[in-house]
Structure 1
Amino acid sequence: MRWSTGRYGTTNEARQPRDGHLVPGVETTWTAGWPAGRVRSVSDGPVSLAVIGDCGADNDQLAARLPAVRAGRWRELTRWPGSYLAIARNGAMLAVLGDLAGQHPVYWRCHDGTVWWATSALALAALDGAPVDPTALAAHLALAQPDVLGQRSLLRCVNRVPGGQLLLADPSGTRTVRFEPTAYEDVDLPVAAATVRAALGEAVATRLDGRPVSADLAGLDSTTLACLAAQRGPVTAVTFADERLRDDDLPYATRTTAAVPNLTHHAVAGTVNTVYYDGLGDLSRLPVTDAPNAYTVTASIKRAVLDTVAAHYPAPGLHLTGSAGDAVLSAPSSYLADLLREGQHRRAWSHAMGHARLRHTSAWSVLGRARPASRTGLAGAWRQTAAELRGAVREWVPQASRPVAWTPLLATADWMSSDVRHQLAAILGGAADQLDDAPTRLAAWSDRQDLNRLGADTTGWRQIAAEHYGVDLVAPYLDNEVIRACLAVPADQRGTPGRYKPLLTTAFTGTGVLPDFVLARTTKGGFNALAYAGLQNNAPVLLDLLGPSSRLAAAGLVTEQPVARILARAAAGQPTAQGALHLAVSAEVWLRQIDTTEPTWWEVDSRVACG
């Protein structure tokens, strides 16, 4: 695992990360596993700035930001293309800034009178063997929104820096400070399109350093990245083309390859084993990630793609993925609640009719789902959810049939013991009482939560690519500047019914980057067939993972009968709570891994401290 760490304050303990390297110019800061070329720093007397990761700034541009460090203009340190961690010192003051999507998360804790920070929560827990926080894990499973519990991480005694905030330490103490607004000033889609195009182009160009380049070539999002890279050199494009999917990704990929120079295409045929949940009987094949990771469930599919990439690479390089494109380029219909709250009833009705046509339902039904969320804010919604947790367990219905909510209560909440549900309700009620600086729009809140979740998950996929293939996985839609450019466009414009990905198509129409037939595409592939095949093929393994002997069961986070019913529904081919099951399986795998593996994180006086 690549990670970074540092400390603030004096200590008599000579502790440092195992195989760590000091960051030049920034005292008591180390990296582990990062190539030297992606760790850079500049200094001027007591002022220094370091960036770790894919940063599009050269050393002169870094040096030009040292006045911003002196003045505490922290957001200026996050405006370069790429995805990176920034560490700034100004005399006795230290600032650590992660990215907006959680690919470079920041955690911190006090240990032996010193503040330690790291991009790995597990590493900080290993300082003294801090255990998992079961209530925080319950929130992860039941709510799936990282910022609900603020600074509380999944590990006891380890604090997390919430999205859009930085860690600031000085002689007066350690705290988090917001550097990113909770919502952006609205920019109309036609105006924002050019900014989005430029941000994506820079995001791709920043990564192209002479290594071999591969890319997913499937939907509109990944195809855009592949075509942008192909403007600058050869790209090995791959399409997962399992016949069970019955989508049109492969025909579009074939046409695109014929139309775009520098694209070489390879189809990845599915097998009986390229399904969800395959290989979970042997957890040693999966990397230990810093948190439960969704790609645990789909690892066999990702490996099939990377196997094909590796077979056609002259040497390990970088792989572009369209991950998170949906999150920034479009929007779910929950934005209707914002239109209703703001009194835009005519626009809400017009959009509701469009969404109703797509879903073969009525506009009244669509608006009926959105109306409850329009009548409350985030704190009030959390109190309502807390009351729901104290009540009776619900009968399962698809999430899309439930009312829109600021923080939807997932089916996993209904699998928990009564005690855990009440503990989670108490924590959620307390969070509501302490909430400040909350966004006024549901879309702004849910967009940020989705991105933080996707960023953490993509980091797990990146570990699979790096540890097993030596490939750097790149997700440009998760870059700070891409996020800012896209989310400045109001959700009702990004997600307007009747137009597919209007922000991306407007940005690239007439530019010659993508063929016209790609920009006119209105279809998108899905993996439901492979999810159900995996549920059926691997039911015994899943029953064992989530059965009476599971770690989740021991903590009251799942109970046997609800899970057995869900798996029985899946085996019969009936609709089921797929997303909730993915969360539970990923969490169980993670708990087993951290219980049975002992990665070495730290060295103390040449002796290794195990976590």
Structure 2
Amino acid sequence: MEREWTTGGTAARGGTEAEGLGGVRRALDAGVRAVAEGPVALAVVGDCLATDHELRGVLPAVQAGRWAELTRWPGSYWVVASDGRQHFVCGGLAGIRAVYYTPHEEGTAWASEPVLLRRPLVPDLPLLAAGLGAGEHHWPHRTPYEQIVPGGFGLLLAPGAPPQLVDIRRVKPVDELREGAEWFGRVLADAVQHRVRAAGGVVGADLSGGLDSLAAVVLAAGVGSVHAVTYTDGYTSGEDMAFAARVAEHTGTRHAVAAGSDEQLPFSFPPGQPTGAEPVLDAAMYAMDTAYLHPVRGLPLHLTGHGGDIVLDASSSCWVRLLQEGRRREAHRQVVAFARLRNTAPGPYWKALKQAADLGRTGTLEQAA
């Protein structure tokens, strides 16, 4: 598999060496493309939509150490680059393509799976303690386990120096929300539909009734055949279930529904569950996934909405910002609309937002602590 590859002296099972990248090993069936000019080399592993011409076009950025420019192509892939003196590796902005690393006397070994490094995963106890105390995650450069490259960061390895995390989350600002929404819509459509076409046009997909999975199903159905699956139990919303059924009917999507029980709740960790690739969301959701994904087993691709709300929904911090800028009436109008859509009283919510705006980030964290 393409995930079984590493560098720094630790070879992947059945791997072959990638030319020009100094000790990188990859599995025999990994999809990899590489370009090089003299000591400057670049490889992408996975599903990258960049052309060979575009790959060659960023070799000057590799030579100059402008690492963030290597992550701007559509797709989901690892990047490995070398300017002849130092190496750079990253797994993408979303954190789906993992990069684990282990410093040792001869340098730093890294891999796409911890088992290839032959070391256990060690929890980041200070981070976990801070999360419990403050109730929020404000440390994007750290993960719940040590020595894992977070999403949005890359790993820079130079001789005689400790491994360094490089922030690659540069986002191009837009002047207007409408402009940003249209641009995001095009990018999302291209990302989903490219994967459907690459999978042969027949894919599986989650359809929970929420915005994230709904968007993926609608876009996928426009270019292929979708088999959607929905999970429901005593804790899920009947309204969401009804909405999922309407979306399936509207798009002509084949639809299967699985009814779970308490045994399928997240973090149930049933006996016999595979381990070794944590921390991943799949480990916590294993019992539920096993229950409802059975109808789509064997399909080459499955689209999921896990985590999509973070991208497709707005954070309440936007209203705090409006209050801090003196745009009180606009903030109040949006908060009231938000609360009414959820059958929630706007008063207590509005009070909490005003307090957060007055205290600021530091004061809010101190109060929570």
Match of 1:203 among 178, 191, 194: 191
Aligned-pair identity in percent equals 35
Give the match for residue 103 of structure 1.
96
Give the match for residue 490 of structure 1.
none
Match of 1:338 among 310, 321, 337: 321
Q: CA deviation at 1:352?
A: 2.9
Q: CA deviation at 1:153?
A: 5.9
Q: CA deviation at 1:288?
A: 2.7
Match of 2:50 among 44, 51, 57: 57
Residue identity matched to 2:217 = A
The 8 Å contact of residues 7 and 111 in structure 2, kept in 1 or not, is answered as yes
Q: Which has the higher helix share?
A: 1
The 8 Å contact of residues 217 and 239 in structure 1, kept in 2 or not, is answered as yes
The 8 Å contact of residues 136 and 149 in structure 1, kept in 2 or not, is answered as no
Change (3 A) 1:90 1:379: farther
Say whether residues 1:222 and 2:232 are aligned partners: no
The 4+ residue runs of structure 1 with deviation greater than 6 A are: none
Residue identity matched to 1:237 = A
The 8 Å contact of residues 46 and 91 in structure 1, kept in 2 or not, is answered as yes
Q: CA deviation at 1:317?
A: 0.8
Q: Give distance in 2, aligned partners of 1:257 and 1:361.
A: 29
The correspondence of residues 83-482 of structure 1 with structure 2, limited to 5 A, is 83-120=76-113, 124=117, 126-127=118-119, 131-139=122-130, 148=139, 150-151=141-142, 154-155=145-146, 158=147, 160-171=148-159, 173=161, 174-181=163-170, 185-207=173-195, 208-211=197-200, 212-219=202-209, 220-242=211-233, 245-260=236-251, 263-272=252-261, 275-276=264-265, 280-282=269-271, 284-291=272-279, 293-310=280-297, 315-358=298-341, 363-376=346-359, 378=361, 381-382=364-365, 385=368, 388=369
Q: Give distance in 2, aligned partners of 1:227 and 1:149.
A: 31
1:30-73 CA-partner distances (Å, limit 9, x unpaired): 345x8422x22222221111112221123333222222222333
Q: CA deviation at 1:267?
A: 2.0
TM-score by length of 2: 0.83
1:438-468 CA-partner distances (Å, limit 9, x unpaired): xxxxxxxxxxxxxxxxxxxxxxxxxxxxxxx
TM-score by length of 1: 0.53
Give 3-state SS (helix, strand or coil) of 1:308's partner.
Answer: helix
The 8 Å contact of residues 56 and 82 in structure 1, kept in 2 or not, is answered as yes
Q: CA deviation at 1:107?
A: 4.2
Give the match for residue 6 of structure 1.
7
The 8 Å contact of residues 355 and 366 in structure 1, kept in 2 or not, is answered as no
Give 3-state SS (helix, strand or coil) of 1:285's partner.
Answer: coil
Say whether residues 1:48 and 2:41 are aligned partners: yes
Change (3 A) 1:179 1:272: closer
Relative contact order, CA 8 A, sep 6+: which one is greater? Answer: 1
Change (3 A) 1:36 1:119: closer
Q: CA deviation at 1:318?
A: 0.4
Q: Give distance in 1, aligned partners of 2:97 and 2:319.
A: 32
Give 3-state SS (helix, strand or coil) of 1:16's partner.
Answer: coil
Q: Give distance in 1, aligned partners of 2:127 and 2:116.
A: 18
The 8 Å contact of residues 55 and 206 in structure 1, kept in 2 or not, is answered as no
Q: CA deviation at 1:256?
A: 3.9
Q: CA deviation at 1:202?
A: 1.4
Change (3 A) 1:96 1:147: farther
Unpaired stretches in structure 1, ≥5 consecutive residues: 8-13, 389-611
Unpaired stretches in structure 2, ≥5 consecutive residues: none
Q: CA deviation at 1:123?
A: 5.1
1:344-376 CA-partner distances (Å, limit 9, x unpaired): 222222223323434556544223212343245
The 8 Å contact of residues 81 and 206 in structure 1, kept in 2 or not, is answered as no
Q: Give distance in 2, aligned partners of 1:244 and 1:134.
A: 32
Give 3-state SS (helix, strand or coil) of 2:7's partner.
Answer: strand
Q: RMSD in angstroms over aligned alpha carbons? A: 3.4
Give the match for residue 17 of structure 1.
12
Change (3 A) 1:61 1:206: farther
Residue identity matched to 2:176 = D
Give the match for residue 26 of structure 1.
21
Change (3 A) 1:354 1:96: same
Q: Which has the higher strand share?
A: 2
Give the match for residue 30 of structure 2.
36
Residue identity matched to 2:168 = F
Residue identity matched to 2:230 = T
Change (3 A) 1:270 1:21: farther
Q: Give distance in 2, aligned partners of 1:216 and 1:186.
A: 31
Q: Give distance in 2, aligned partners of 1:147 and 1:189.
A: 25
Residue identity matched to 2:95 = G
